[in-house]
Amino acid sequence: MFGDIAMPNLVYVVVSIVLALSIHEAMHAFTAHWLGDNTAEQEGRLSLNPLRHIDPFSTVILPVITLIIFHVPILAAKPVPFNPERVKYEEFGSALIAAAGPLTNLVLAIASAVLLHGVTAGPLADFLITFIELNVVLFIFNIIPIPPLDGSRVLYAFAPEPVQRFMDQIEPYGIFLVFALVLTGVLLPLLTNLDNAILRLLP
């Protein structure tokens, strides 16, 4: 998804990651609050302040290392807590909270692509290109329907009970499964094709 990363561009990558993930997590929190749950607000997550959402290792160090080695950033922010019992519309409310994050990344990519048309070249153009690519990657990665990724929360709301039970069982190990599928290259062709398709469709 990302080609060879020159050292100066790592600054753009880190800034893009911090901004994109902070807004992603903030939208989870704002959506949960809109649906009636104040858990995120009580935890101080109802904010666009990156310091409320990022983890120094998993949000900054890990993605830089994996980007250099595998050309794919593997990253995570602090999960936004919410109480499903307080959320309106039950499982569908939880699905809305989950969908808010990746959809926000898609909107950020589209808005940045539009803005890029007004920028000819230079550092701002380089940053916008990085920001677009990173947000598309975050959108694709997070819609993978394997727990605990956001896509699984959406699938859970519409899945039959046997599938829900299976998803509950694998959730403690799901993130390791996702990382294994990415690092072994099993998911990489699919993710790359989706990434390229979305980038081609952007304005």
Catalytic residue from among 25, 43, 133, 161: 25
Query: What is the residue whose two structure tokens read 């959402």?
Result: 53
For the chain, list the strands marked E by DSSP: none
Nearest to 140 by CA among 24, 32, 3, 28: 24
Q: 197: which 2 tokens?
A: 């398709």
Nearest to 32 by CA among 104, 78, 91, 84: 84
- Let me know if 171 is a catalytic residue: no
Question: Could you write out the DSSP letters of every residue in 133-167?
Answer: HHHHHHHHHHTS-STTSHHHHHHHHHS-HHHHHHH
Radius of gyration of the chain (CA): 17
The catalytic residues are: 25
